[in-house]
C-alpha cells in the first residue's frame, strides 16, 4: 500500500518569499512521485515528476523538488513566490513499473501569496 501526507492544508507566504510545501510518502516499492497544481475551476497540471533518475527535479514555473529516500520526503520549493502561484498543490505517488497508472494523492495544500 502507498500513501501521501502533505503537512499543512494552508500555507501563506509573502510575494518574493520562499515557497516550501511538504510531502512525505509511504511506499513498499520504489515510488514515482509527482507534484500537481490546481487553479480554481480547472483540472490538475503537472509541475514535476520523480522517476528514479536525478534526486533533484526541476519543474515548470520555477518549482523544484528533492527526493530524499532516507526521509521519505519529496518537498516542493520555489525561491521566490509570485502572485500567480496562488493555487492548490497536490503531491502524488504511484508504484514504479506497476504497468497501470493509479495515483494516490495527498489531501492538498492551498498556497496563498500575500502582496
Partner 1 sequence: KAGVTQTPRYLIKTRGQQVTLSCSPISGHRSVSWYQQTPGQGLQFLFEYFSETQRNKGNFPGRFSGRQFSNSRSEMNVSTLELGDSALYLCASSLASDSPLHFGNGTRLTVT
What x/- string results for residues 30 through 49 when contact with partner 1 is judged by CB under 8 A?
--x-x-x----xxxxxx--x
* 60 near partner 1 (CB under 8 A): no
Give the residue from 19, 15, 12 showing the smallest Cα distance to 47: 19
* Rounded Cα–Cα distance for residues 3 and 104 (Å): 6
* 3 near partner 1 (CB under 8 A): no
CB of 88: closest distance to partner 1 in angstroms? 10
Residues in 93-112 at the binding interface with partner 1, rule: CB under 8 A: 96-108
70: cell is 532516507
Binding site for partner 1 (CB under 8 A): 32, 34, 36, 41-46, 49, 51, 90, 92, 96-108
Amino acid at each position: 500500500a502507498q500513501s501521501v501526507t502533505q503537512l499543512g492544508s494552508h500555507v501563506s507566504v509573502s510575494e518574493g518569499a520562499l515557497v516550501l510545501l511538504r510531502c512525505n510518502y509511504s511506499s513498499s516499492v520504489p515510488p514515482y512521485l509527482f507534484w500537481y497544481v490546481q487553479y480554481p475551476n480547472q483540472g490538475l497540471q503537472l509541475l514535476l515528476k520523480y522517476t528514479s533518475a536525478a534526486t533533484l527535479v526541476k519543474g515548470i514555473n520555477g518549482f523544484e523538488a528533492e527526493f530524499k529516500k532516507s526521509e521519505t520526503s519529496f518537498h516542493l520549493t520555489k525561491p521566490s513566490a509570485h502572485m500567480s502561484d496562488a493555487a492548490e498543490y497536490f503531491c502524488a505517488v504511484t508504484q514504479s513499473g506497476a504497468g497501470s497508472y493509479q495515483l494516490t494523492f495527498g489531501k492538498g495544500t492551498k498556497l496563498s501569496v500575500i502582496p
